[in-house]
């Protein structure tokens, strides 16, 4: 049986997870930044970019999200209720995610991409708040649509030369 403090921690963590989805879709970069510790271990090794895990400053992570998402007309990150394991001031959680991305494209070009998988998050209680210290995006199913929309979106936000 969970204690009232554990229930409060689980609710706070669920709010962080929901905030992660909403801030990306709302393009609310200030709110997105507030969800992270100053440094975050980011793991996109099974996502589109295939980058190995690396520690990044939270401000750089937000700029990566902005640079990736600003070129899309719309995104929709639907996240399940998180499965949370608490250990004092540390928490691990796993959240199933379906992420839809759309960008206008020429006729005949696939204009969307849907990723299905989950987020694995590590959170720490820092200064009385739960903050994300590790974010792994795990794609577990084939793409629906085309991951090429990421390049189309990036081209829309690239500075003109």
pLDDT of 7: 93
C-alpha to C-alpha distance for 120 and 131, rounded to whole angstroms: 14
Residue 95 has pLDDT above 70, yes or no: yes
Q: Which domain holds residue 75?
A: 4-157
Closest CA to 157 of 65, 51, 93, 94: 65
Residue with tokens 């190995």: 52
- The model's pLDDT over 111-133, given as tens digits with 9 standing for 90+, comes to 999 999 999 999 999 999 999 99
Q: What total of structural domains would you count in the chain? A: 1
Q: Give tens-digit pLDDT for 24-39.
A: 999 999 999 999 999 9
Which pLDDT score, from 0 to 100, does residue 51 have?
A: 80
**Longest Cα separation, the chain:** 61
Question: What is the CATH classification number for the domain harbouring 121?
Answer: 3.10.450.50
Which residues sit opposite 76 in a β-bridge?
Answer: 100
> What do you get for the CA distance between the two ends of the chain, in Å?
61
């Amino acid at each position: 049986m969970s204690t009232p403090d554990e229930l409060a921690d689980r609710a706070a963590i669920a709010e962080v997870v929901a905030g992660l989805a909403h801030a990306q879709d709302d393009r609310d970069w200030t709110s997105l930044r507030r969800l992270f510790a100053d440094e975050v271990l980011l793991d996109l090794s099974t996502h589109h970019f295939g980058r190995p895990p690396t520690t990044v400053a939270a401000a750089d992570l937000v700029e990566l999200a902005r640079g990736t998402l600003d070129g899309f007309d719309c995104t929709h990150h639907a996240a399940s209720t998180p499965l949370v394991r608490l250990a004092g001031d540390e928490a691990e959680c796993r959240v199933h995610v379906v992420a839809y991305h759309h960008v206008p494209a020429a006729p005949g070009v696939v204009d969307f991409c849907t990723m299905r998988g989950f987020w694995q998050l590590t959170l720490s209680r820092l200064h009385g708040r739960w903050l994300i210290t590790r974010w792994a995006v795990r794609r577990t199913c084939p793409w629906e649509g085309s991951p090429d929309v990421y390049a189309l979106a990036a081209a829309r936000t690239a500075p003109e030369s």
